[in-house]
A and B are shown apart, each in its own frame.
Chain A
Amino acid sequence: MSSAAALPAPRGGLLRGLSDFLLRRPGAYLALLLVPPLLWLGIIYLGSLFALLTNSFFSIDEFSGTIDYTLTLSSYGQLLQLANFDIVIRTVLMAAAVTLASAVIAFPIAYYAARYAKGRMKAVFYLAVMMPLWSSYLVKVYAWKLILAKEGIVSWVADTLGVTVVLDGVLALPVIGGPSLSTSYIGTFLVFTYVWLPYMILPLQASLERVPGSLVEASEDLGAHPRQTFRHVILPLALPGMIAGSIFTFSLSLGDYIIPQIVGGSNLFIGQAVLIQQGTAGNIPLAAAFTVVPVAIMGLYLWGAKRTGAFDAL
Chain B
Amino acid sequence: MRSDRASRPLKLAALGGLLFLHVPLLFVFLYAFTTEEKSYQFPPPGLTLKWFGVAFARQDIWDAIGLSLKVAALATSVALVLGTLIAAALARRQFFGREAVSLLVILPIALPGIVTGIALRAAFNLLEIDYGLLTIILGHATFCIVVVYNNAVARFRRLSGSLVEASMDLGADGFQTFRYVILPNIATALLAGGMLAFALSFDEVIVTTFTAGQQSTLPIWMLSELVRPRQRPVTNVVAVFVILVTFLPILAAYYLTRDESQHK
Size of chain B's interface in residues, with CB distance under 8 A? 92
> Which of chain B's residues has its CB closest to A153's CB?
B42
A258 x B40 contact (CB < 8 A): no
A257 x B114 contact (CB < 8 A): yes
Q: In this assembly, does A232 line the interface, its C-beta being within 8 Å of a C-beta of chain B?
A: no
> Which of chain B's residues has its CB closest to A17's CB?
B173
A255 x B28 contact (CB < 8 A): no
B122 x A288 contact (CB < 8 A): yes
B122 x A55 contact (CB < 8 A): yes
Q: Which residues of A lie under 8 Å from residue B64 when comparing CB positions?
A: none
Q: In this assembly, does B54 line the interface, its C-beta being within 8 Å of a C-beta of chain A?
A: no
B21 x A129 contact (CB < 8 A): yes
Binds A, one of B55-63, B82-90, B184-192: B82-90
A49 x B119 contact (CB < 8 A): yes
B176 x A30 contact (CB < 8 A): no
* Given A144-B24, A295-B111: A15 touches B175 (CB 8 Å cut-off): yes
Q: How far is the CA of A7 from the CA of B85 in the complex (A)?
A: 26
Q: How far is the CA of A151 from the CA of B145 in the complex (A)?
A: 43
Q: In this assembly, does A76 line the interface, its C-beta being within 8 Å of a C-beta of chain B?
A: no
A128 x B28 contact (CB < 8 A): no
Q: In this assembly, does A298 line the interface, its C-beta being within 8 Å of a C-beta of chain B?
A: yes
Q: Which residues of B lie under 8 Å from residue A45 when comparing CB positions?
A: 104, 107-108, 116, 119-120, 142
Query: Chain B at the A interface: mostly helix, strand, loop or mixed?
Result: helix
Q: Pick from B10, B20, B21, B43: contact of A111, CB below 8 A.
A: B10
Size of chain A's interface in residues, with CB distance under 8 A? 96
Q: In this assembly, does A16 line the interface, its C-beta being within 8 Å of a C-beta of chain B?
A: yes
B31 x A146 contact (CB < 8 A): yes
Q: How far is the CA of A46 from the CA of B123 in the complex (A)?
A: 10
A33 x B89 contact (CB < 8 A): yes
Q: How far is the CA of A30 from the CA of B95 in the complex (A)?
A: 9
Q: How far is the CA of A82 from the CA of B152 in the complex (A)?
A: 48
B250 x A130 contact (CB < 8 A): yes
Q: How far is the CA of A257 from the CA of B117 in the complex (A)?
A: 12
Q: In this assembly, does B74 line the interface, its C-beta being within 8 Å of a C-beta of chain A?
A: no
* Given A33-B89, A294-B115: A44 touches B138 (CB 8 Å cut-off): yes
Q: How far is the CA of A36 from the CA of B205 in the complex (A)?
A: 26
**A38 → chain B closest CB, angstroms:** 7
* Given A131-B250, A137-B203, A139-B239: A34 touches B86 (CB 8 Å cut-off): yes
* Given A10-B172, A19-B173, A41-B142: A143 touches B82 (CB 8 Å cut-off): no
Q: In this assembly, does A141 line the interface, its C-beta being within 8 Å of a C-beta of chain B?
A: yes
**B55 → chain A closest CB, angstroms:** 15
Q: Pick from A33, A109, A131, A146: contact of B28, CB below 8 A.
A: A146
Q: How far is the CA of A35 from the CA of B222 in the complex (A)?
A: 38
Offer 8 A-B interface pairs, CB within 8 angstroms, sorted by A: A34-B89, A40-B78, A40-B142, A134-B250, A142-B239, A143-B28, A278-B118, A278-B121
